[in-house]
Amino acid sequence: MMRKKHFNCRDSQSVHTLLNGKHQEHVLFYQPYTSDQELMIVLQTPVMKSNMENYAKQLVFVDTTHCVNQYSFPLFTLVVRDDHGRGVPVAYAIVSNESQKTLETVLGIVCEHFPTSPRAFMVDKDFAEINALQKVFPESAILLCWYHVLQAVNRWLSKSESGVHGLSNTQKRNEIISFFGKLKACTSEEDFKATSAEFCQTFKQNPYWPHVV
């Protein structure tokens, strides 16, 4: 049923027709997928542009959704918070890979439409994404999403190389996680550094210290 709504039996041609048709004004950048180049589509509607101009000066969230089509291409969404505290998108990007080079190109296009460099971007722990943002927005700080930080810590602590995996080390893992909760509660950089130093001092005397830090 969905296939009948396509402009062409070839998906690449359907995309080309769609992006060069009535939605062309919403396309900031389009690079077709070929054997020699990656697919890159960057979209922004007038409403998105307005939200970017009004709310993107402070914090911009970067969200990645994988496998949005049959080719498993990721969708990148840049999101800001409006006056009502709601997250609203300011740009979409569909790409055929998540390499730093591809992300730098996409972010470079989006960068041209920001009124000024945001104070900070909040991302997950993807290093290609972080490196691309630092290259394109050198004046913006990079913040890690707390959910992904805790997820990474828990996954690491559950591995044998952490030195604190298994049921016998449950209390040790809980102590480490508890300190990360203290780090989250810090309200200033100075407080964060002090708590980090306390963390190091606390676990430095433990035999599993080399595995933790």
Tens-place pLDDT, residues 157-192: 888 877 788 888 888 888 888 988 899 888 888 999
Q: What pLDDT does 5 receive?
A: 57
Place of tokens 């994988």: 66
DSSP single-letter state for residue 93:
E
Place of tokens 């041609």: 13
Q: What domains are there in the chain, each with its CATH number?
A: 2-144 (3.30.420), 147-212 (no CATH)
pLDDT interval class at 2 (50, 70, 90): very low
Q: What pLDDT does 145 receive?
A: 86
CB 43 within 8 A of CB 27: yes
Q: In what order do the strands lie in the sheet with 27-31?
A: 27-31, 40-43, 87-95, 75-81, 59-65, 120-123, 141-144
Q: What pLDDT does 205 receive?
A: 66
Q: What's the pTM?
A: 0.77
Q: Which two tokens stand for residue 194?
A: 């002090």
Q: What pLDDT does 8 receive?
A: 47
Tens-place pLDDT, residues 41-94: 999 999 999 999 999 999 999 988 877 777 788 899 999 999 999 999 999 999
Amino acid at 144: L
Query: What is the H or E stretch that residue 13 is in?
Result: helix 11-19
Give the Å distances, CA to CA, from 6 to 12, 33, 93, 136, 145: 11, 18, 21, 36, 38
For residue 212, pLDDT beyond 60: no
Tens-place pLDDT, residues 100-152: 999 999 999 999 999 899 999 999 878 899 999 999 999 999 998 888 888 88
3-state SS assignment for residue 173: helix
- 150 φ, ψ (degrees, to nearest 5): -65, -40
Burial class of 133 by CB neighbour count within 10 A (0 to 12, 13 to 18, 19+): buried
Q: What pLDDT does 48 receive?
A: 96
Quote the CA–CA distance of 115 and 195 in Å, as a whole number.
36
Share of the chain above pLDDT 90, in %: 42
Q: What pLDDT does 124 receive?
A: 83
For residue 204, pLDDT beyond 60: yes
Q: What pLDDT does 1 receive?
A: 36
| Helix, strand counts (H, E) of the chain | 8, 7
CA trace torsion 46, 50, 56, 61 (10° rounding) = -40
208 contact partners, CB below 8 Å, separation of at least 6: 162, 163, 164, 169, 172
